Amino acid sequence: MSGCNFISKLNKLRKSSSDSIDNVDSFDGFKEYMHVVRDAEVDLRAVLQRVNASAKKTLILLCGSAGDGKSHLLSYMKNSDTENLLENYVIHNDATESNAPDKTAIDTLYDVLSGFRDENLDQPGQNIILAINLGVLSNFIESQYGEHFKLLKQYVFDANILSSKVNEKGYDPNSHFQHISFSDYHMFLLEKDGINPEYIDALFEKIVSHNESNPFFMSYKEDCSSCPLSSKCPIKKNYEFFMDEKVRRYIALLLVNVIVREKEILTTRELLNYVFDILVAQNFDFAKFQKNSVNMSKFLKEYLSCIMPTILFDYDDISSIMDKTHKYDPLLDRDEMADDLAIEYYVADDISNTIKKLLVESPYVDVFNDKDSIEVINSDRALKSKLFNALVRTKVISFGNVSGERFQKYVKDLFSYNSGRVSKLSGLYSDVEDAVINWCGNESEGNICIDDQHKEFALYENIKFEAFLDNMPQEKSIDRLNRFLPYIVVEFQGADGQSIRLDVDYSLYELIGKLKKGYVQTAEDRNNHADFISFITKIQKTGSADNYMIAISEKGQKAVLEKTKFGVYKFKVVK
């Protein structure tokens, strides 16, 4: 990739770049420009203001995962914040600081946090803000040093810092401990009408903003204009394609789909690295591309492999997130309109009209609709086929919707659950009942099968599904959520009066929808959803089997087994 100043500038986005690592004591102009205010920052400021007003010695835990922005936020607030909220704090980053080379991170934390040992809590001392990964925090409080930090350990558990629960308590005026956990926040907002990838949108906007403070745009404007490949460069065209707000929104929603559906963990560092990966093809070589540009056939093949619509869905083993976007390739969505378009394209002697129709105002149109390009493409079947794939993808990315009907329904139910709107979830509870019945199998009167292992007969019982709603989140009269569980908790009443819980993520939600419509589960479904099988087993224990069962023979004969008041079963053939 040598020889291109624009790519050198885009390299700042890579997680291997020195610009991706933040140091609390330094904060350059680039990092200040790239800063986007998040809800975690707003909440941290509120906590700091209250701690500073209280004059209470306090340890603030800033928790999360590697690369999610903890160090960046502290660096920004220390070096670019006019309120000086961190002025009276010792700041410690567990991932980057050590007191001595022979000490582990746990040993160092024991020393740094000495003022917050149980016996020292009420003694005067310095406020500390600790940026710490959740795994390190767990290891610390469970280590040998944990005996000296029992009150800290209790706070961690009471505040649900290490659990999947969302902390609703906020600032605690009676505690020496406060926290903000990045794991409570997401790359997107959950709204009653769908997903709002606000943070992703804001970061994308930083990269393409027509702003003199934007190093990427300034390099595009100055370096690309003087480049001999300017009119043919796929990297420049990718950047121009990314400038389109509709394109950026499509990619943002694509990432949200992967986060929710595939449970992919995406940090800020990974997100910026992803942008680099879709702007700059791994096989792009400036010198090679310049050499091939004089041969139209070689140039077009190389160009096609380097444009964003191809990179998004054809490249393997670049990153986990890119591998998981493959299943959302627009080429996988086949319908009658797509088939008609393909026929029109492949039977045409001249594809220029199709190119104009599909690319519209895309930055790629000039290269593909060039007279010399059209002549080569019309005569090369393999090239023509690859171009069609790129055209369809470009059209969908520019104007399409990556979220299907089932996903949109899941998002609405997810919002209803997290906002405590119980009445909106009755349909989901009904779907879960139908899914259990269809998974087990049922007979004409709706009784479900509990044993079909015998050749001669199968046993059925009656189950009355009783929803258990005591643990539902408190109802919130708001239209957007910035902190929420990424799954829905469905609960039914067990035989002992306790709840039987089922965590419904998108994958299970999709299966429940298919089972409701009569889908027959496969061995793969059984392997992937052991949690659902466990739930069914517990639900079956709430049924009538202890007192009443139905046996149906392989020939369709039906008998009732009913427990009498004397504790013995009465057998009666009813059909």
Q: Tell me: do 489 and 532 sit in the same domain.
A: yes
pLDDT at 511: 97
Q: Provide the greatest CA pair distance for the chain.
A: 96
Question: 98 pLDDT band (50/70/90 cuts)?
Answer: low
| pLDDT higher than 50, residue 180 | yes
Which span out of 399-413, 447-461, 510-524 was modeled with the highest average pLDDT?
510-524
| pLDDT higher than 60, residue 54 | yes
Last residue of a domain, one of 186, 209, 228: 186
Q: Tell me: do 206 and 342 sit in the same domain.
A: yes
Classify residue 2: in a domain, yes or no: no
Number of domains in the chain: 3
| pLDDT higher than 50, residue 1 | no
Tokens standing for 235?
């990297």
pLDDT at 23: 61
pLDDT digits (tens, 9 = 90+) for 369-391: 888 888 898 888 889 899 999 99
More confident site: 431 or 573: 431
Which ranges of 441-522 would DSSP assign to H, the alpha helix? 506-516
Q: Where in the sequence is the domain holding 170, given as residue range(s)?
A: 35-186
Classify residue 14: in a domain, yes or no: no
Q: What is the arithmetic mean of pLDDT over 458-463?
A: 86
Beta strands in 405-508 (DSSP E): 448-451, 457-461, 480-483, 488-493, 499-504
Rounded (5°) CA angle 416-421-423: 105
Q: Tell me: do 539 and 503 sit in the same domain.
A: yes
Q: What is the arithmetic mean of pLDDT over 58-85?
A: 88
pLDDT digits (tens, 9 = 90+) for 266-315: 999 999 999 999 999 988 888 888 787 778 888 899 999 999 999 999 98
Q: Tell me: do 93 and 124 sit in the same domain.
A: yes
pLDDT digits (tens, 9 = 90+) for 523-572: 999 999 999 999 999 998 888 777 777 888 877 788 887 877 777 778 77
Classify residue 23: in a domain, yes or no: no
Question: 103 pLDDT band (50/70/90 cuts)?
Answer: confident
Classify residue 13: in a domain, yes or no: no
pLDDT digits (tens, 9 = 90+) for 13-35: 998 877 656 666 667 889 899 99
Residues 4 and 286: beta-carbon distance below 8 Å: yes
CA distance 167 to 165: 6
pLDDT at 346: 85
Q: Which of 65, 52, 127, 126 is nearest to 94 (CA)?
A: 65
pLDDT at 450: 83
pLDDT at 241: 96
Q: What is the arithmetic mean of pLDDT over 73-78?
A: 90
Q: What is the arithmetic mean of pLDDT over 205-214?
A: 96
| pLDDT higher than 80, residue 173 | yes
Classify residue 214: in a domain, yes or no: yes
Last residue of a domain, one of 158, 186, 214: 186
78-86, long-range: CB < 8 A, 24+ apart = 78/24, 78/25, 78/27, 79/25, 79/26, 79/27, 80/27, 80/32, 80/35, 83/45, 85/45, 85/48, 85/49, 85/52, 86/48, 86/129
Classify residue 122: in a domain, yes or no: yes
Q: Tell me: do 393 and 471 sit in the same domain.
A: no
Rounded (5°) CA angle 500-503-507: 140
- Eight-class DSSP state of 62: E
CA distance 162 to 165: 8
Last residue of a domain, one of 380, 399, 418: 399
Residues 468 and 500: beta-carbon distance below 8 Å: yes
Q: Tell me: do 431 and 364 sit in the same domain.
A: no
**Angle of the 198-208 helix axis to the 268-279 helix axis, nearest 10:** 50
Least confident among 5-19, 183-197, 269-283, 336-350: 336-350
Q: Tell me: do 166 and 224 sit in the same domain.
A: no
CA distance 191 to 562: 51
Q: Tell me: do 168 and 213 sit in the same domain.
A: no
Question: 37 pLDDT band (50/70/90 cuts)?
Answer: very high
Which span out of 9-18, 350-359, 421-430 was modeled with the highest average pLDDT?
421-430
Classify residue 328: in a domain, yes or no: yes
Q: Tell me: do 209 and 322 sit in the same domain.
A: yes
Q: What is the arithmetic mean of pLDDT over 211-219?
A: 95
Q: Tell me: do 474 and 343 sit in the same domain.
A: no
Q: What is the arithmetic mean of pLDDT over 240-252?
A: 96
Q: Which of 325, 305, 163, 185 is nearest to 258 (CA)?
A: 325
Q: What is the arithmetic mean of pLDDT over 225-245?
A: 91
pTM: 0.90
Q: Tell me: do 348 and 418 sit in the same domain.
A: no
Q: How far is CA 83 from CA 25, 69, 87, 448, in A?
A: 17, 20, 9, 64
pLDDT digits (tens, 9 = 90+) for 116-168: 999 999 999 999 999 999 999 999 999 999 999 999 999 999 998 998 788 77
What share of the chain has pLDDT > 70, as a percent?
96
Q: Which of 190, 199, 257 is nearest to 418 (CA)?
A: 190
Classify residue 18: in a domain, yes or no: no
Q: Tell me: do 447 and 509 sit in the same domain.
A: yes
Question: Mean pLDDT in the chain?
Answer: 89
pLDDT at 25: 63
